[in-house]
Each structure stands twice: as structure tokens, then as C-alpha cells.
Structure 1
């Protein structure tokens, strides 16, 4: 039985921190595979800056040399009303029926789930397992204990908390801003992705 991590993000663009984070989690949690899950342009809660196809192409370039990494465009193919983490994890648990699925997320998202801000928040926690990355200023144990949704659906193995060494913060938005303002973020993302952005004129401010 394999252990598989689902790592969802906009990846707009994928950065070296995304890759480093996934690699660190894969190593520490002894995951057999990390699946990068780019979200769709159709999502109502996120505003994408780049077409799905460009983000997908850059992601493929970024992970091509790591046999522990793969990508899945499941959410990109869904209708807007059917996109939710709860439904996505149901899909992956059915696809990998004999394996253990973990949803990888930051502690800030843990708080949002605990407040019931995600669709089917209670069932999401009750039926799934999570790897939660530390975020500055967030006490993850307190977040769990102070939320009825989180604490009452935690069987002791629901949350794998990673509290040290994942504090690097180089965001995709920072890289987009650098490109748009004529900056040079070359070494903040994979070289192949940097060249792809240059070749396709992505993130440039329109005159």
C-alpha cells in the first residue's frame, strides 16, 4: 500500500519553493508519490493570471526529472460547480483505492476548514488525512483544539503536522510582480519554467 500526497495550488507559476516543499514532505513523511494538482481557472475563489494550459505546461517542465513527482489535471477538467477539495479527494481515493491519500496544505487553510469555510468541512476532515505545513504565527495544535470540526473528527492520525523547516516564503505572486515590473526572478523558479515564461511573454504588463 502506497502513501500518496496531493499537493494542490494555482502554480501560477510553479516555484522552487513549491518543489522544495514537496520534496521535503515526501522525504519526511515517507511518501511514495506527490501528485501536483493545479487548480482550475473556473474556480470562483481564486483569480488565475494565466491560462490552464500554460500552468500545466510549466508544471510538467518543473517535475519531469523527479520520479517521485507527478501531476494530475483532474480539477482543470471539472465544471465550476463540481470543484471542491472534498470531491477531489473522493476521486483520488477511488483512483488509488488500495493506497493512503494525504492532502498537503498550509496551517492557514487548516484554520479556514476549522471555521467551516470549505465545502463539506466536517466530512472533509472526518473522511480524510492531512499533512499540514507550519505557517508563521499559527499554532497548529491550538487551531485543532479550538475548532469543534477539527478536534471532534480527529482520530489521532488525521493530521500530520510539520512544524519545522518549512518557513521559506517566495510566492508565485512575487514572481509575477517581478516579471511584470521588469525584475529578474530567474533563480526563484525552475530554469525551464523561466524560459517558458520568457518565450510566451507571460506575466507582462500590457502597455
Structure 2
């Protein structure tokens, strides 16, 4: 039985922090595989700044050479109204029936789920396992204890909380802003992705 982490994000663009985070989580949680899952530009709650094709190409460039990292375009292929993390995890649990599937997310998303803001929040928490990364200013244990949705599913195995060393603030939006304003975020993204961004004149 293997252990898999599903790492969903806009990856707009993918950054060195995404890669470092995935590598650190894989090491600390003994994951055999991390699946990079870019969200679709058809989602009504998301605004992408480049096409799915460009985001996908840069993910492939970024993870090349790491045997534990793979990319999956499952959500990119779904109709916008059908996309829900609950359904996505059902898909991956069916695809990897012999493995333990974990959803990797930041503590800010844990708060949203705990407040019932995600589709099928209660079923999502009750039926799945989560690796939760610290975010500055968020007390994860307090967030779980305050939410009936979260605390009633906290059996000691549902949440793997990583509260040290992952709260880095360099974001995709910061990199987009730098590119838009003529800044130089070269070493915040993989070199292959930086060259791709320049070649295709993205985020300008």
C-alpha cells in the first residue's frame, strides 16, 4: 500500500515554493507520490491569468526529473459546475484503490471547509484524509476545535498538521505582479518555467 498526496492549486504560475513545499510534505509524511492537480479555468470561483495549456506546460517543466512528482489534468477536463474537491478525491481513490490518498492544503482552506464554504464540506471531511500546512496567523488546532464539521471528524488520523517551516509568503500573485511591473522574479520559479514565461510573454 502506497501513500499519495493530491496537491491542488491554480499554479498560475507554479513556483519554487510549490516545489519545495511538495518535497517537504513528501519527506515528512512519507509520501510515495505527489500529484500536482491544476484547477480548471472553468471554475466560477477562480480567475486564471493565462491559459490552461500554459499552466500545464510549466508544471511539466517544473517537475521533470523528480520521480515522486506527477501531474494530472483531471480537473482541467471537468465542466466547471461539476468540479468539487469531494468528487475529485472520489476519482483518485477509485484510481488508486490500494493506496492511501491524502489531500494537501493550506490552513486557510481548512478554515473555509470548517465553515461549510466548500461543496459537500461534511462528506469531504468525513470520508478523506488531509495534510494541512501552516499559514501565518492561523491556529490549526483552534480551527478544528471551533468547527463542528472538523472536530467531529478528528479521529487522530483525518488531519496531519504540519505547523513548522512551511509558512512561506512568496506567492504566484507576487510573481505575476513583478512580471507585470517589469520586476525580476527569476529565481522564484524554476529556470525552465522562467524561460517559458519570457518566451511566451506571459503575465505582461
SS at 1:35's partner residue?
Answer: strand
Corresponding position of 1:172: 172
User: May I ask how many residue pairs the two structures share in their alignment?
Assistant: 204
For the pair 1:28 / 2:28, whether they are aligned, the reply is yes
Cα distance in 1 between the residues matched to 2:51 and 2:167 = 29
Structure 1: state its 5+ residue gaps.
none
Which residues in structure 2 correspond to 1:19-98 (within 5 Å)?
Answer: 19-98=19-98
Q: What CA deviation, in whole Å up to 9, does each residue of 1:80-139 have, x standing for no partner?
A: 111010000000000001100000000010010000000000000000000000011111
Q: Does 1:139 align with 2:139?
A: yes
In 1, distance between residues paired with 2:97 and 2:167? 33
TM-score, normalised to structure 2's length?
A: 0.99
Whole-angstrom distance in 2 between the partners of 1:180 and 1:148: 43
1:201 & 1:129 partners in 2: Cα distance?
39
What corresponds to 1:18 in structure 2?
18
What is the alpha-carbon distance in structure 1 between the residues aligned to residue 59 and residue 42 of structure 2? 18
Task: State the Cα distance separating 1:169 from its structure 2 match.
Answer: 1.2
Matching of residues 94-113 of structure 1 within 5 Å? 94-113=94-113
Task: Give SS of 1:137's match.
Answer: coil
1:153, CA displacement in angstroms? 1.6
**What stretches of structure 1 move > 2 A for 4+ residues in a row?**
none
Report the Cα distance in structure 2 between the residues aligned to 1:169 and 1:151, rounded to whole angstroms: 28
